[in-house]
Amino acid sequence: MVLIGIDPHKATHTAVVIDDDERELARIKVKADRAQVAVLLEFAEEFRPRRWAIESAGGLGFLLAQQLVRAGEDVVDVPATLAARVRLLGSGRGSKNDPNDALSTAIAALRDPHLRTVVVEDHAMVLRLLADRHQDLTSLRTQAVCRLHALIAALTPGGVGRRISSDGAASRLRTIRPSSTVEAARIEMALELVADVRRLDEGIAEVKKRIAAAVAASGTSVTEVFGVGPVVAALLIGHTGDITRFPTSGHYASYNGTAPIEASSGKVVRHRLNQRGNRQLNHALHMAAVTQLRFDTPGRAYALRKIEEGKSKKEARRALKRKISDAVYRQMREDARA
């Protein structure tokens, strides 16, 4: 089998073909346009069997990877860090250019048999898009509320409470009589922010309805885990993708950042907080853990036992997040087998 490594860019894509001995057989640079797949398939016609290795198939190479998969090609995703490591460590490939990047991508795919196989987008991508949209709207709302809070605080003697709603802000603004053009401008801007918050509230409510419908249509059982509602489920399913690519719950925990990182040295064995991994998944598991801690649940009892053992509240919550990660993994594996 030959490996065809591709270094994708916005304007062009560079492809390099290698054999099992890492010898370069051919290379090509194609324009990133509607004909890109047809040109690449014509170029690769003589090389069979073949596998395409695309650097960052979830980033710049996303569209090209999806087009090749839809054309029936075997495609794997090579992380940019892995390709860079191969390039830096390889003899004669230290120069940073497109052909060397494509060559390093192909070699990385040749050496690593555990790379993610790119598959055609499915319902999980729909949930991911909806979940990301919900987070974008929520972030915009938080930003608007913070600015609104600052404007009202500058208009109100004694300040204003930490929490404020759009209706409460509108009521307060109606009672303020501006004493200068500056205050009048602040009130006008605050009223515009009130309108922004109301619009964003409507958008958030609408996307929540769409998420609930999409999660129900997916038939997932991950919502059986306490604390996993439709929004959290959409984050988990959308950002996990194909759960079968994780052989064990430990691999999944490492991917979502709930598994600690070993930081041992000599005879000293210790672990530290994992701040890597998929932060969206980690955030979703955090929300599920916080929900379980609020109610009388087995998860809360587990965290209390950890605290009794001498763990801090943060450490107990992290341990609970790992338990929830394992439970989510089991539910998703069952769904995949169904």
Span 181-196, pLDDT tens digits:
999 999 999 999 999 9
- Nearest-angstrom CA–CA distance, 5 and 104: 7
For residues 319 and 245, membership in a common domain is answered with: yes
Instruction: Assign 64 to helix, strand or coil.
Output: helix
Length of the chain as a residue count:
338
Q: Where residue 26 sits, what CATH number does that domain have?
A: 3.30.420.40
Question: HEC states along 256-274?
Answer: HCCCCEECCECCECCEECC
Instruction: Assign 9 to helix, strand or coil.
Output: coil
**If pLDDT is split at 50, 70 and 90, which confidence band does 96 have?**
confident
For residues 235 and 279, membership in a common domain is answered with: yes
Is the Cβ–Cβ distance between 219 and 335 less than 8 Å? yes
Q: Where are the beta strands (DSSP E) in the chain?
A: 2-8, 12-18, 24-31, 50-55, 75-78, 116-117, 261-262, 271-272
pLDDT, position 322 = 95
For residues 257 and 276, membership in a common domain is answered with: yes
Is the Cβ–Cβ distance between 321 and 289 less than 8 Å? yes
For residues 135 and 187, membership in a common domain is answered with: yes
Domain assignment present for 276: yes
For residues 195 and 240, membership in a common domain is answered with: no
Instruction: Assign 277 to helix, strand or coil.
Output: coil
For residues 131 and 214, membership in a common domain is answered with: yes
Q: What angle do CA 79, 84, 90 make, to 5 degrees?
A: 130
- The number of C-alpha atoms within 13 Å of 244 and in the hemisphere containing its C-beta is 8
Task: Mark which of 195, 218, 241 sits at the end of a domain.
Answer: 218
For residues 6 and 86, membership in a common domain is answered with: yes
Is the Cβ–Cβ distance between 51 and 4 less than 8 Å? yes
Dihedral over Cα of 218, 224, 228, 230: its sign: positive
Q: What is the mean pLDDT of the chain?
A: 91
Task: Mark which of 117, 139, 170 sits at the end of a domain.
Answer: 117
Domain assignment present for 36: yes
Q: What's at 316, amino acid-wise? A: A
Does residue 288 have a pLDDT over 60?
yes
**What is the distance of C-alpha 72 from the center of its chain?**
27
Domain assignment present for 47: yes
Domain assignment present for 79: yes
Closest CA to 44 of 60, 30, 59: 30
Q: Which domain holds residue 213?
A: 123-218
For residues 71 and 13, membership in a common domain is answered with: yes
Question: What backbone phi and psi angles, to 5 degrees, belong to 175?
Answer: -90, -10
For residues 109 and 127, membership in a common domain is answered with: no
Query: Could you give the C-alpha distances from 226 to 181, 222, 296, in angstroms and in order?
Result: 53, 9, 11
SS3 content of the chain, % helix, strand, coil (to 5): 60, 10, 30
Domain assignment present for 190: yes
Domain assignment present for 225: no
More confident position, 282 or 271: 282
For residues 234 and 207, membership in a common domain is answered with: no
For residues 319 and 236, membership in a common domain is answered with: yes
Rounded (10°) angle between helices 230-240 and 279-294: 150
**If pLDDT is split at 50, 70 and 90, which confidence band does 232 have?**
very high
Task: Report the DSSP beta bridge partners of residue 54.
Answer: 6, 77
* Burial class (CB within 10 angstroms; exposed 0-12, middle 13-18, buried 19+) of 262: exposed
Domain assignment present for 223: no
Task: Mark which of 72, 91, 117 sits at the end of a domain.
Answer: 117
- Nearest-angstrom CA–CA distance, 38 and 188: 56
Does residue 93 have a pLDDT over 60?
no
**Range from 103-117, 156-170, 314-328 carrying the lowest mean pLDDT:** 156-170
Span 44-88, pLDDT tens digits:
999 999 999 999 998 899 999 999 999 999 999 999 989 888 888
Domain assignment present for 261: yes
Which residues make Cβ contacts (< 8 Å) with residue 120, sequence separation at least 6?
66, 69, 70
Total domains, the chain: 3
For residues 108 and 129, membership in a common domain is answered with: no
Rg (CA), the chain: 26
